[in-house]
């Protein structure tokens, strides 16, 4: 009884998600928000009539980060109260014309959250991986912004003075899902480096975050430019020694740790500093469980970097098992579980605990609202064991269970890819898998836009590689003819037609 009362108190305070009837099956959004589901034109019409901004949430039922946002942000009383200031619209990636709209708004990764002016001008893109307090602070800054982030960026790069809140908007902008909206993709790293150099030093928290984001961006480059690593390493050591600053930037410390350590090397005890801070974050009960598991996973990756091909120590394995079990027990609603069980299953698998990963994931299949996501991890586990037949079986089951226009194409592409990689000699399986995907494409109203287009491009590339020696020419001819029939039903003026025709050419080449 005491635990129930405590959970209720924490949930009402916005610190813990409540399970609720409206979320049964995980398909519904958390209650309390008047979402305009899918009808983007109506949302903008209402925004103009009420002179309010538009908040666009682009996501998918299966996506673990989307489910974390639902479990940690969208259900909070303070976020629900904030929605009175704007018109919220939810665009599910599987809804009609969603991928076409996704291409229009340049949204690709799930989740992407954008704040627009009533006239459609974009104000800012909100980060989906940060803690709720930072998210809500960024949201309020966006609502109060005099200039959109694109104009703020131009001012900052031109050396014009910016208010502290403007710098914070730049620091917390969702650079990873910008898609060329405010800066070309190949200029993001250099731009973050310049911003980190220009932010006023007295704005210590914002300066630290921009410096850390710039460092993470450099670490993510295949060929980072030359720079003096010693000052960067010294600043990072100072940050990792400060629990408050590390917690405030936990999203970067956790998810960029491995890349940053590879970039800077282990001088000055940087690896040990990461280990200490990641251990603290993994045990920080103010973080969402998916992030705590992320910290545990990052620590595991760092250990494996340093001790390649060595067995993992028993204490580390015991801690990983304990974290996965605690996360499983603590996750109470479908949103939480979709994010947490995915992370726990992957963590166990990365630690080589494949049977335990399988047990956790298979136990979730009957209750998950997107079991097909877990099936892909089960396929990966089987593949890691060298069991090609079981891996292919899971790929097929995942595709068969997948729901939604874009989702079925994405999972179908995974199945085709798995079939070509693991059983290229099974021409009947490969052809049947690809044929089913093309049949799904024929049923979709936006199969050749955005994520769906990229899924079909992967299928076409896989088929081309499969037939590189001409051994499967007959099957390829039938598949190309099937897709050509889909293209032929598209109106000549449809922007999808040339995309479809190009895919047919790719398969036949």
For the cut 60, the answer to whether the pLDDT of residue 111 exceeds it is yes
pLDDT of residue 8: 32
CA dihedral 370, 371, 376, 380 (to 10 degrees): 140
Instruction: Tell me which of 52-56, 75-79, 129-133, 229-233 is least confident.
Output: 129-133
Mean pLDDT of 471-480: 97
DSSP helix, strand, coil percent of the chain (3-state; round to 5): 65, 5, 30
Chain centroid offset of residue 117 CA? 25
Q: What is the pLDDT of residue 25?
A: 42
The side-by-side arrangement of strands in the sheet containing 54-59 is 36-37, 87-92, 54-59, 112-116, 122-126
For the stretch 288-291, contacts whose Cβ atoms lie closer than 8 Å and that sit 24 or more positions apart, written own/partner, are: 288/68, 288/71, 288/72, 288/131, 288/339, 289/326, 289/327, 289/330, 289/331, 289/336, 289/339, 289/340, 289/343, 290/64, 290/68, 290/327, 290/339, 290/340, 290/342, 290/343, 291/131, 291/250, 291/251, 291/254
User: In this structure, how many other beta carbons lie within 10 angstroms of the beta carbon of residue 321?
Assistant: 16
pLDDT tens per residue across span 65-90: 999 999 999 999 999 999 999 999 99
Q: What are phi and psi of 316, to 5 degrees?
A: -65, -45
pLDDT, position 129: 83
Give the pair of three-digit tokens for residue 376.
Answer: 């892909």
Q: What is the pLDDT of residue 369?
A: 94
> What are the C-alpha distances in Å from 17 to residues 211, 248, 334, 483?
33, 21, 10, 45
The percent of residues above 90 in pLDDT, for the chain, comes to 90
Q: Which pLDDT score, from 0 to 100, does residue 130 have?
A: 84
Global pTM? Answer: 0.91
Bond from prior residue into 206 cis (ω within 30 degrees of 0) = no
In terms of Cα–Cα distance, which of 291, 279, 219, 220 is closest to 250? 291
Cα Rg of the chain, angstroms: 24
- Specify the pLDDT at position 38: 83
Q: Is the pLDDT of residue 182 over 60?
A: yes
pLDDT of residue 264: 96
Query: Is the per-residue pLDDT at 19 higher than 90?
Result: no
134-162 pLDDT, tens digit per residue, is 999 999 999 999 999 999 999 999 999 99
Q: Which pLDDT belongs to residue 24?
A: 37
pLDDT at 14 over 50: no
Residues 165-169: what's their mean pLDDT?
97
CB 375 within 8 A of CB 401: yes
pLDDT at residue 18 greater than cutoff 50 = no
Q: What is the pLDDT of residue 3?
A: 36
Beta-carbon contacts of 276 under 8 Å, excluding residues fewer than 6 positions away, are 240
Q: Give the bridge partners for 92, in sequence order.
A: 59
The residue among 409 and 97 whose pLDDT is bigger is: 409
pLDDT of residue 9: 32
Q: Is residue 122 helix, strand or coil? A: strand
Q: What is the mean pLDDT of residues 385-394?
A: 98
- In 14-125, alpha helices (H): 40-50, 64-72, 77-82, 98-105
Alpha helices, H only, 64-161:
64-72, 77-82, 98-105, 132-144, 149-157
Q: How far is CA 416 from its chain centroid?
A: 23
Show the tokens assigned to 42: 């109506």
CA distance 298 to 343: 12
Distances (CA, A) of 1 to 7, 15, 250: 10, 19, 33
| Distance between CA atoms of residues 427 and 480, nearest Å | 15
Share of residues in the chain with pLDDT > 70 (%): 95
pLDDT score recorded for residue 27: 59
What's residue 313's pLDDT? 96
* pLDDT tens readout for residues 261-297: 999 999 899 999 999 999 999 999 999 999 999 999 9
User: For position 15, what pLDDT does the model report?
Assistant: 34
Handedness of CA 41, 45, 51, 52 (dihedral sign): negative
353: nearest Cα among 373, 377, 369:
377
pLDDT of residue 16: 34
Residues 209 and 180 sit within 8 Å (Cβ to Cβ): no
Computed over every residue of the chain, the mean pLDDT equals: 92
Average pLDDT, stretch 180-199?
95
């Amino acid at each position: 009884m005491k635990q129930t009362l405590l959970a209720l108190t924490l949930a009402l305070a916005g610190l813990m998600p409540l399970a609720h009837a409206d979320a049964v099956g995980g398909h519904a959004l958390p209650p309390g928000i008047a979402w305009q589901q899918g009808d983007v034109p109506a949302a903008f019409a209402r925004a103009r009539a009420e002179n309010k901004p538009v908040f666009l949430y682009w996501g998918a039922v299966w996506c673990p980060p989307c489910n974390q946002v639902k479990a940690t942000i969208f259900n909070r009383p303070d976020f629900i109260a904030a929605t009175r200031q704007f018109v919220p619209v939810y665009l599910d990636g599987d809804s009609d014309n969603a991928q076409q709209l996704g291409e229009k708004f340049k949204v690709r990764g799930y989740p992407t959250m954008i704040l627009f002016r009533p006239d459609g001008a974009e104000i800012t893109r909100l980060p989906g991986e940060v803690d709720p307090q930072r998210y809500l602070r960024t949201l309020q800054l966006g609502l109060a912004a005099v200039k959109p982030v694109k104009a703020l960026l131009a001012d900052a790069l031109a050396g014009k003075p910016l208010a502290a809140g403007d710098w914070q908007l730049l620091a917390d902008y969702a650079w990873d899902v910008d898609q060329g909206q405010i800066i070309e993709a190949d200029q993001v790293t250099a731009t973050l480096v310049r911003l980190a150099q220009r932010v006023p030093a007295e704005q210590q928290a914002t300066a630290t975050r921009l410096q850390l984001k710039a460092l993470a961006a450099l670490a993510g480059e295949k060929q980072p430019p030359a720079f003096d690593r010693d000052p960067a390493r010294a600043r990072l050591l100072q940050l990792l020694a400060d629990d408050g600053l590390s917690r405030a930037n936990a999203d970067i410390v956790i998810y960029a740790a491995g890349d940053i350590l590879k970039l800077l090397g282990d001088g000055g005890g940087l690896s040990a500093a990461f280990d200490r801070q990641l251990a603290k974050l993994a045990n920080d009960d103010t973080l969402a469980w998916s992030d705590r598991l992320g910290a545990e996973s990052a620590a595991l990756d760092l250990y494996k970097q340093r001790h390649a091909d060595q067995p993992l120590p028993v204490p580390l394995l015991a801690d990983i098992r304990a974290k996965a079990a605690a996360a499983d027990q603590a996750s109470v609603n479908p949103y939480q579980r979709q994010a947490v069980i995915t992370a726990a299953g992957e963590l166990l698998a990365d630690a080589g605990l494949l049977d335990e990963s399988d047990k956790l994931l298979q136990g979730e299949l009957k209750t998950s609202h997107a079991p097909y996501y877990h099936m892909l991890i089960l396929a990966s586990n089987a593949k890691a064991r060298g069991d090609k037949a079981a891996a292919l079986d899971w790929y097929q089951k995942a595709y068969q269970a997948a729901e939604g226009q874009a989702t079925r194409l994405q999972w179908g592409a995974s199945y085709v890819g798995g079939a070509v990689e693991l059983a290229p000699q099974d021409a009947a399986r490969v052809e049947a898998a690809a044929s089913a995907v093309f049949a799904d494409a024929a049923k979709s109203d936006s199969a050749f836009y955005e994520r769906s287009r990229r899924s079909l491009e992967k299928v076409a590339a896989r088929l081309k590689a499969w037939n590189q020696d001409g051994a499967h020419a007959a099957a390829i001819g039938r598949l190309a003819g099937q897709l050509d029939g889909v293209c032929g039903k598209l109106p000549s003026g449809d922007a999808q037609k040339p995309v479809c025709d190009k895919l047919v050419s790719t398969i036949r080449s």
